[in-house]
Structure 1
Amino acid sequence: MAKKNRQTPASARSAALQEDKPATLKDLLNPELVSKLRAQADAMREVEAKQKEEARKQAEEARKKEQKRLDNNFEHLLENSKMDWRKFK
């Protein structure tokens, strides 16, 4: 009374799946247009990466300048120094 699980051949399943899928935008567009769009997207990603890198460098420079300014400020150094002078005897 057990039912047998019949499986269709792999080629028949893949053909059936391909027929069921609706056409994608990539399939409908001209291949030249698709390649142009991909190139434009890559260029935009490169520009964005350069902008992020530049912003990171500017933030790092600002942090270095602030640290240098604080290192020259005696009041800041005194407030942030460790008061355990036993280590330096």
Structure 2
Amino acid sequence: MFIKLIFLALLAINLVASRSITMDGGRCSCYRTVSKITFHSRQVKTIEILPPSASCENVEIIVNLKNGRQLCLDPHEDKIKNIFRELINKKKI
């Protein structure tokens, strides 16, 4: 009985500790980003732009391609910023 209580206590401590680790910005979807677009716009299925949040401090641009590949674009790269600026301007017209 005593061993079971120790096991449950250790399990509870582990759960609390792992929760605090994941809430400090370590749950981003993009671990690696690319700075060049190596695909054609016809290959794009969806584009997700995720703003900074409590679980991830980075802006993330996730491109899902029709072939199932997923790429994360570097939101700080000037070429990528310009592409999104052009898309926003075209949307306004």
> Normalised by the shorter chain, which TM-score bucket?
0.3 to 0.5
- The structure showing larger relative contact order (alpha-carbon pairs under 8 Å, at least 6 residues apart) is 2
Instruction: Write 1 or 2 for the structure with the bigger share of strand.
Output: 2
Larger radius of gyration: 1
Higher-helix-fraction structure = 1
Alignment TM-score, normalising by the size of structure 1: 0.41
Q: Scaled by the length of structure 2, what TM-score is found?
A: 0.39
